[in-house]
Amino acid sequence: MKMGSKTAKQKILKPKQVLFDKPMVVSFDKPKVKNQYYVYALGSLQGVYEKASYAIQEAEKIKGVVISSSQEYVWGSGNTPDIYEVNNMDEFRTGEGESTLVACLNRILKLEGAEDINASTELENGKSPAEILTEATGGEGFDLTGCTPEEIQYTISHETPVVAMLSADHAVLVIGYTSEKICLY
């Protein structure tokens, strides 16, 4: 049969029998990858970090952005309003025998609609605050230890309160800022 010939007809061949030895199953399970944070600036990748705070601090120096391994923006240089306060933040207090860290985590969990999770129990089970928030929200909780108030403004301006540890046993919730002050609960 010549290609392009007017008399040429295409033939469709169908097998009369199909033989399967064993069904083939292809699994597309996502491998468990440790979170990494990528710093981009000046049109290229500048570094890869295992902690969000390290990536943010480096990005601040070079006026870059930080992207998580799940391809979400974590931080961007200069992308914050001068004044901001997280919406829907009503007052809260620590419960009897409850630490300030637990109270802050429970308030964020309530804000995220995950009130059924008990932060106290999760902490007792050895989870970090970032792990608790990551699992509860389906998003990603970041450890911003070492970041300056200016560096956490990006997170706050995206409607995300930040738990700040004032000492080993005293936490506050950072919910807003101005050019001169930060707003705490």
Question: What are the pLDDT digits (tens) for 121-141?
Answer: 999 999 988 889 888 887 778
Instruction: Provide CB contacts within 8 A for 138, sequence distance 6+.
Output: none
| CA–CA gap between residue 157 and residue 109 (Å, rounded) | 18
CB neighbours of 145 closer than 8 A, spacing ≥ 6?
Answer: 51, 53
- The pLDDT of residue 138 is 78
pLDDT digits (tens, 9 = 90+) for 22-68: 666 767 766 666 789 999 999 999 999 999 999 999 999 999 999 99
Q: What is the mean pLDDT of the chain?
A: 86
pLDDT in tens, 106-118: 888 888 888 889 8
- Tell me how far apart the alpha carbons of residues 83 and 16 are, in angstroms, rounded to a whole number: 73
Q: What residues pair up with 171 in beta bridges, in sequence order?
A: 165
Q: Say what the pTM is.
A: 0.73
Q: Give the CA distances from residue 63 to residues 42, 97, 151, in Å, rounded to whole numbers and listed in that order.
A: 9, 44, 11
